[in-house]
Amino acid sequence: MATPAPAEITAMRRAIELAARGLGHTSPNPVVGCVVLDAAGRTAGEGWHRRAGGPHAEIHALRAAGERARGGTAVVTLEPCDHTGRTGPCAQALIDAGIARVVYAVSDPNPTATGGALTLAEAGIDVEGGLLADEAAAGNEAWLTAVLRGRPFVLWKYAATLDGRIAAADGTSRWISSPESRADAHRLRAAADAVIVGSGTARADDPQLGVRIAGLADDEITPPLRVVVDSGADAVKPGARVLDGTAPTLIAVAEDADAGHLEGLAPIVRLPRAPQGRGLSLPALLQALYDRDVRSVLLEGGPTLAGAFLAAGAVDKVVGYLAPALLGAGPAVLGDAGITTITQALRLDVTDTARLGPDLRITAVPVRTARPEEN
């Protein structure tokens, strides 16, 4: 791409920040931010996509800019859409507003929405893609992964001692991680469309799986769908905290499970059992969630379910909160993931480390080994 103006780089950084405000609210749509600069390069309007079905980022920014958009530049984190879904095409709105130049970061991989750049160029608008593309793509990693893989993005999150234990030998586990780590984990929940636990965790902890963030009112949070994977429909009982009605809940059970006692308490989805191993088919679970517009999943475990997700190649990112404590005995953070020898170890790239109070937060992504045909 040609050298962008400094004001365009600053505007793109701001647009990426604005886009992040939509995390957790926009699925099945991406998060998008937009800054409109006037003809002199000054910020005239800002916007972000706030929720699915609402106006796109460009429309908010154009409205804020008003007449100052004429002859100006729209800086947007994703290629403007070219299709009429629940809202009109953004490419046309930019043309109608008299925008002279459009700078975007990431091309739209969605086959139904792509083509905006071409439409804009055909209308005589100067169009450039690729500005701060890596940063913008990182902000949209869940949606981009979901489009690419045809299933929701899965982030596995856990809290463990430094020796990788999630509970002591007698089963006691509260609280392994610090208040700072737990607050951070609630931010992960708020950014996800669904949070998943297995029946073992439902039985042991009776988790509520809601989101609490200091300083944010309930109406500023879109709580994720609470999903319990409970093949026999025998772990979630009437009165379970996950059925408290404060957020949507889905109980995934086997096709042959007797789930009569859940009638009227929570929606259930019946899924085939896994062809081998225990529990339900994970591809079927992820498909059922995708069909419900879930694009990002926070997998909260426990170790058995996490092992099955890893064995299925269905973990895209790992966030581990490591507390500076040692237990020496007690369950490990990860159960059987189908790995029997060291050469099969799932290798990860660490993408971030942070101190949260006394704890260490490690973020890592699986190293995807290239298949021969990809070399």
Ligand X SMILES: NC(=O)c1ccc[n+]([C@@H]2O[C@H](COP(=O)([O-])OP(=O)(O)OC[C@H]3O[C@@H](n4cnc5c(N)ncnc54)[C@H](OP(=O)(O)O)[C@@H]3O)[C@@H](O)[C@H]2O)c1
Chain residues in the site for ligand X (CB under 6 A): 158-160, 166-167, 173, 176, 197-201, 204-205, 229-232, 274, 278-280, 282, 300-305, 308, 335
The per-residue b/e assignment along 324-351, b for 16 or more CB within 10 angstroms, e otherwise, is eeebeebbebbbebeeeeeeeeeebeee
Of residues 75 and 166, the one with the C-beta less far from ligand X: 166
* DSSP label at residue 165: B
Q: How many CA atoms lie within 13 A of 11 on its CB side?
A: 28
Which residue, chain included where needed, has tokens 């529990």? 279
Closer to ligand X by Cβ: residue 122 or 255: 255
Active-site residue identified among 8, 17, 46, 58: 58
Determine the longest span between alpha carbons in the chain, in angstroms.
Answer: 70
Tell me whether residue 159 or residue 191 sits nearer to ligand X (CB atom). 159
Q: What is the Cβ-side half-sphere exposure of residue 278, based on CA atoms within 13 angstroms?
A: 16
Compare residues 13 and 241 and give the one whose CB is closer to ligand X: 241
Least separation, in Å, of the C-beta of 235 and ligand X? 6
CB of 366 to ligand X, least distance (A): 18
The CB-of-344 to ligand X minimum distance in angstroms stands at 18
- Minimum distance of ligand X from residue 62's CB (angstroms): 44
**Residue 276's Cα: distance from chain center in Å?**
28
CA 147 – CA 30 distance, rounded (Å): 10
Which residues on neighbouring strands pair with residue 320, listed in sequence order?
A: 158, 362
Q: How many CB atoms lie within 10 A of CB 174?
A: 6
Residue closer to ligand X, measured from CB, 12 or 299: 299
Q: How far is the CB of 21 from ligand X (least distance, A)?
A: 28
User: Has 58 been annotated as catalytic?
Assistant: yes
The contacts of residue 172 (CB under 8 Å, 6+ apart) are none
* Alpha helices per DSSP H over 29-175: 57-65, 90-96, 116-122, 133-139, 141-149
Catalytic positions are: 58
